[in-house]
Amino acid sequence: FSTFLMENPQVARKIVEKGQLAERARVAAKRAREVTRKKSGLEIANL
């Protein structure tokens, strides 16, 4: 597999970019969950 990637740098770059995009999506989803939890906690405290 590594030989293939060395011989095809454009494909390797695409694979890395896809992984980076997935990582950014995971981080964004985690932040969204945390914000939602904080908001719901504040709403309960205000009751």
Q: What's the confidence (pLDDT) of residue 22?
A: 98
| Structural domain count, the chain | 1
By residue range, what is the domain housing residue 18? Answer: 2-46
Q: Is there a contact between 11 and 5 (Cβ–Cβ < 8 Å)? A: yes
Q: Classify residue 2 as exposed, middle or buried by CB count within 10 Å of its CB (0-12, 13-18, 19+).
A: exposed
Q: What separation, in Å, do the N-terminal and C-terminal C-alpha atoms of the chain show?
A: 58
Instruction: Say what the pLDDT of residue 35 is.
Output: 87
Alpha carbon distance 41, 5 (integer Å) = 48
Q: What is the pLDDT of residue 37?
A: 82
**What pLDDT tens digit does each residue of the chain (47 aa) get?**
999 999 999 999 999 999 999 999 999 999 999 888 877 766 666 65
